[in-house]
Amino acid sequence: MKSCELVVLLCCVFLPEIYALNNGLALTPPMGWMSWQRFRCLTDCNLYPDECISDKLFRNMADLMSSEGYLEAGYEYLIIDDCWLEKERDENGRLQPDHKRFPYGIKNLSDYIHSKGLKFGIYEDYGTHTCAGYPGILGHLEVDANTFAEWGVDYIKIDGCYADFDDYEKGYTEFGQYLNKTNRPIVYSCSWPAYLESNKIYANYAYLSEICNLWRNWGDIQDSYSSMSRITNWFSSNQDRLIPYAGPGHWNDPDMLLIGNYGLSIEQSRSQMAIWAILAAPLLMSVDFRTIAYEEKQILLNKEVIAINQDPLGMQGYLAKKKFDIEMWVRPITPVKSRAYSYAVAYRSMRDDGYPYAINVTLNELSLNHSKGYTVKNIFDNSWRENILQVDQSFIVRVKPSGVVLFKFTPN
Ligand SMILES: *[C@@H]1O[C@H](CO)[C@@H](O)[C@H](O)[C@H]1NC(C)=O
Ligand SMILES: *[C@@H]1O[C@H](CO)[C@@H](O)[C@H](O)[C@H]1NC(C)=O
Ligand SMILES: *[C@@H]1O[C@H](CO)[C@@H](O)[C@H](O)[C@H]1NC(C)=O
Ligand SMILES: *[C@@H]1O[C@H](CO)[C@@H](O)[C@H](O)[C@H]1NC(C)=O
């Protein structure tokens, strides 16, 4: 008793006030569009007039995001990634956008994006510079938080380049406090775990979940199936460490969706959408809405996959089993019936032997054990595959090479 009191006393005297993020945002994984994966740091508007990071690009994307059904499907944040800044701050020490590429300023663009019913997000970096070499926020945390709030920013991604690893925890906390002081609700995305974990240092996710709404865990995604698979392998290898800290208001982020670009086949695109739904991952598209193919668009807009991703329980799924190079990913979701969860289950093939491989497991083997069995729905197929399945019954699923079959199991 005495020593307990002493601990309490010490903590109150010597530790700073504990701050917990309580901004009421991101109760389900954020959905939106971000420029990086597709448009990177294209800044030469003479060479790339339709693709360069510019006011025009974001207005084009905002128009299509709201008119082509993306906003209606739930994708609400339009987010500018790196390469929007001038190389110097203005005479008052404030951040300013590149004047040629953003001739009307950021507030004007933000108003336009809001006028389309969208929310507006932007990128900065905790260090001295952004990853692409533009001014970072270090030394200017308060004025920059205020600038973002004045610009009507609803979502901010803070990267971790050109910073000292030892400063992250304190620095990101401080910036979060300045954001909070603006009184504007702003989703706070923190990239610092990606820098630690890429160097095999464990991030403190318990703490992150108190100060950030989402955090990039690991390396950047690139436009290929092998890059996507390295990320899913990292997530499954570390799932026991990550899953407890995902939930309403705080999410692990495996990075952007590649769907609609150059690197994934249609099957692989479904695979990314399914696994990102199982992982309760932010759904951040990064695609040119002017050129996306119909079939890819349908994958991004699939209501049932989105509903799995946005499930209100907010539980992150996991790799439950791998057999004959077929991964079986499982996520508990609603509805919950007499204490039994429903589940999303993705059978994902890592095989390349040409034909749809038949995998044969029982639901018991996936720890789906509701005594009355489950009703099964095949999500991408839109057909009722089998109405009722008992848990000890062998269930045979054919999975195409590098493809996925995604099911929803509801307890009977
Ligand atoms: C700021 O933090 C307080 C305390 O956690 C919270 O109640 C409030 O909603 C936050 N405000 C914003 C704008 O994030
Ligand atoms: C944005 O800038 C344009 C061009 O100067 C101007 O016509 C428009 O009124 C501005 N919009 C807002 C919301 O200030
Ligand atoms: C599936 O597995 C069960 C149990 O091992 C077995 O009895 C059944 O014959 C298998 N079905 C097929 C089509 O391989
Ligand atoms: C199902 O599995 C869970 C966890 O493994 C266990 O707690 C529960 O009692 C099992 N239910 C049935 C009906 O076997």
State residue 26 phi and psi, 5-degree precision. Answer: 55, 45
CATH number for the domain that contains residue 22: 3.20.20.70
Residues 322 and 305 in one domain: no
* Sole residue written with tokens 């507030």: 107
Q: Of 190, 154, 204, whose CA–CA distance to 23 is shortest?
A: 154
Per-residue DSSP letter, 213: S
Note whether 279 and 405 are same-domain residues: no
Give all strands of the β-sheet with 388-389 in edge-to-edge order.
Answer: 318-323, 326-337, 340-349, 404-411, 374-378, 388-389
Nearest CA to 219 out of 239, 233, 205, 204 is that of: 233
- From the list 63, 111, 167, 220, the catalytic residue is 220
Ligand 1 within 6 A of CB of 22: yes
Q: Residue 75: what residue type?
A: Y
- Amino acid found at 241: R
Dist. CA 79 → ligand 3 center (Å): 49
Q: How big is the CA angle at 120 (ends 256 and 315), to the nearest 5 degrees?
A: 50
What's the 130 CA to ligand 1 centre distance in angstroms? 27
Q: Note whether 287 and 371 are same-domain residues.
A: no
**Residues 289 and 272 both lie in one domain:** yes
178 lines ligand 1 (CB under 6 A): no
- Binding site membership of 20 for ligand 3 (Cβ less than 6 Å): no
Q: 281, 309, 337: which is the final residue of a domain?
A: 309
Statement to judge: residues 234 and 120 lie in one domain: yes
Q: CA 377, CA 74: separation in Å to the nearest integer? A: 22
Ligand 1 atom with least separation from CA of 24: 9
Rounded (5°) CA angle 267-270-275: 125
Backbone angles phi, psi at 292, to 5 degrees: -60, 140
Ligand 2 center from residue 122 Cα (angstroms): 20
Q: Would residue 159 show up in a list of annotated catalytic residues for this protein?
A: yes
| Choice from 21, 23, 175 to test ligand 1 binding pocket (greatest atom count within 8 A of CB) | 23
pLDDT in tens, 333-351: 999 998 999 999 999 999 9
Q: Do 195 and 84 share a structural domain?
A: yes
Answer yes or no: are the C-beta atoms of 401 and 354 closer than 8 Å.
yes
Confidence (pLDDT) at 169: 97
Residue 399 sits in a domain whose CATH number is: 2.60.40.1180
Classify 365 in phi/psi space as left (phi over 0), alpha (psi -120 to 50) or beta.
alpha
Given a contact cutoff of 8 angstroms between Cβ atoms, the answer to whether 132 and 167 are in contact is: no
What are the CA-CA distances from residue 86 to residues 57, 96, 97, 273 (Å)? 17, 6, 5, 35
d(CA 328, CA 345) in angstroms, rounded, equals: 7
Which of the following is catalytic: 125, 159, 253, 311? 159
Please identify, among 309, 344, 372, the residue that sits at the C-terminal boundary of a domain.
309
Residue 104 Cβ inside 6 Å of ligand 2? The answer reads: yes
Query: Backbone phi, then psi, for 61, in 5-degree steps?
Result: -65, -40
pLDDT by 10s per residue, the chain, length 412: 334 433 343 333 343 444 447 899 999 999 999 999 999 999 999 999 999 999 999 999 999 999 999 999 999 999 999 999 999 999 999 999 999 999 999 999 999 999 999 999 999 999 999 999 999 999 999 999 999 999 999 999 999 999 999 999 999 999 999 999 999 999 999 999 999 999 999 999 999 999 999 999 999 999 999 999 999 999 999 999 999 999 999 999 999 999 999 999 999 999 999 999 999 999 999 999 999 999 999 999 999 999 999 999 999 999 999 999 999 999 999 999 989 999 999 999 999 999 999 999 999 999 999 999 999 999 998 776 668 899 999 999 999 999 999 999 999 9
pLDDT of residue 384: 65
The answer to whether residues 91 and 121 belong to one domain is yes
Identify the pLDDT of residue 22: 83
* Shared domain check, 284 and 402: no
Q: How far apart are CA 102 and CA 118, in angstroms?
A: 19
Q: Which domain holds residue 374?
A: 318-411
Q: Are 255 and 335 in the same domain? A: no
Protein residue with its CA nearest to atom 7 in ligand 3: 394
Task: Domain count for the chain, please give it.
Answer: 2
Which pLDDT tens digit goes with each residue over 35-52? 999 999 999 999 999 999
Q: Are 23 and 69 in contact (CB under 8 A)?
A: no
125 and 245 part of one domain: yes
103 in contact with ligand 2, CB cutoff 6 A: no
CA distance 284 to 29: 10
Closest CA to 29 of 405, 361, 308: 308
Answer with the one of 309, 341, 358 that is the final residue of a domain: 309
Average of per-residue pLDDT values in the chain: 94
Mark whether 305 and 366 lie in a shared domain: no
Angle (CA) 199-200-206 rounded to 5° is 110
Query: What DSSP line would sit under 27-50, residue for residue?
Result: SS--EEEESHHHHTT---TTT-TT
Which residue's CA is the nearest one to ligand 4's atom 14?
369
Torsion of CA 112, 142, 13, 188, to 10 degrees: 30
Q: Helices (DSSP H) in 182-302: which residue ranges?
A: 192-198, 205-211, 225-237, 239-242, 266-278, 294-301
Ligand 1, atom 3, lies closest to the CA of: 22
Query: Which pLDDT belongs to residue 319?
Result: 98
CA nearest to 347, candidates 320, 370, 369 = 320
User: Does one domain contain both 217 and 355?
Assistant: no
Mutational pocket test of ligand 3: of 324, 394, 396, 397, the residue with most ligand atoms within 8 Å of the beta carbon: 394
Structure confidence by residue, pLDDT tens digits, 193-236: 999 999 999 999 999 999 999 999 999 999 999 999 999 999 99
